[in-house]
Structure 1
């Protein structure tokens, strides 16, 4: 079970790391994310003024950074999963509100490359990542949080976490490939 917990920690940490790094990789990425984040808030049809938009984006980046740091430290694993679950719930709330409100806001959760608006696939992505975090949180109660016993077991946990991270990050592209986007009529 220790390796399952390790894989959960790595999957959540890596996913939040990719998300954070994609926002911080340059000015354009940051601006696209800040604009999209402001438009995703319920009750908004236009973006917030400049400074408030950047404060919102900075708050999201701060939470993502906290998850990355907390998942890296065995002593803070429980807090990492708790913060990740709260963040995913908040992200899902604003995505759901955008879908219900008919707002076609592009998802810049993992950088600015994706042009399609947030949709049900993003909710599924957050639910899957939330289940991983919830599993990890439950395991922190059942097994002691410590380093791996075997290098091979840690390597397998890392590969599993890497695969999950790639699939989570590419959810929008995978949904588009199978025609499961809002543009294709999937609601």
Structure 2
């Protein structure tokens, strides 16, 4: 169980690192994310509030990473990740219900329109976060042995790479 918790910690930490870093890559990336935030938050929200919400999202994503890296705060990291992913999912579902399929800038620059795959991605990650939280709270937060840790970190890295690159991978195989 310790290996699974470690793999999920690595997976979520890397996904949130990629998400925050993609948004902070430059002025243009952050401006696109702020514009996406303005579209995804409930209307009417003032432009100033949208900028604060965008900054809070990036700050919360960074906090998830820090919390998940430290074993003593992993439960808080899992909980914050689950809350953020639930909020992101709700925002995407609302946008899709309105017919808004503009890219979300989830990982910075993105050309892929919003769709069910982002909902599935976020729900899958939220499920992983809740599973990690449950395992951590039930005492499964010990560090695995060296071999188990190596396997867990590799599995978490591979899964994170698949999540972050999923839109690009899917586009490779579309007719």
Partners of 1:38 and 1:128 in 2: CA distance: 25
Instruction: Tell me which residue corresponds to 2:126.
Output: 130
Matches within 5 A, 1:20-59: 20-43=20-43, 48-49=46-47, 51-59=48-56
- Pick the aligned partner of 2:158 from 159, 163, 167: 163
| Larger relative helix fraction | 2
Partners of 1:99 and 1:177 in 2: CA distance: 24
Q: C-alpha deviations, 1:104-142, integer Å up to 9, x for none? A: 221211111x21221100001001111211111111133
Q: C-alpha deviations, 1:126-167, integer Å up to 9, x for none? A: 0111121111111113334233322x2111111111111111
Instruction: Tell me which residue corresponds to 2:111.
Output: 115
Displacement over 3 Å in runs of 4+ = 174-179
What TM-score results when the alignment is normalised by the length of structure 1?
A: 0.86
Higher relative contact order (CA 8 A, sep 6+): 2
What TM-score results when the alignment is normalised by the length of structure 2?
A: 0.92
Please tell me whether residue 153 in structure 1 is matched to residue 151 in structure 2.
no
Contact residue 14 and residue 65 of structure 2 kept, 8 A? yes
Partners of 1:134 and 1:104 in 2: CA distance: 28
Q: Give the CA deviation at 1:173.
A: 2.5
Query: What SS does the corresponding residue of 1:170 show, helix, strand or coil?
Result: helix
User: RMSD of aligned C-alpha atoms?
Assistant: 1.9
Partners of 2:166 and 2:94 in 1: CA distance: 19
Partners of 2:171 and 2:99 in 1: CA distance: 19
Contact residue 78 and residue 130 of structure 2 kept, 8 A? yes
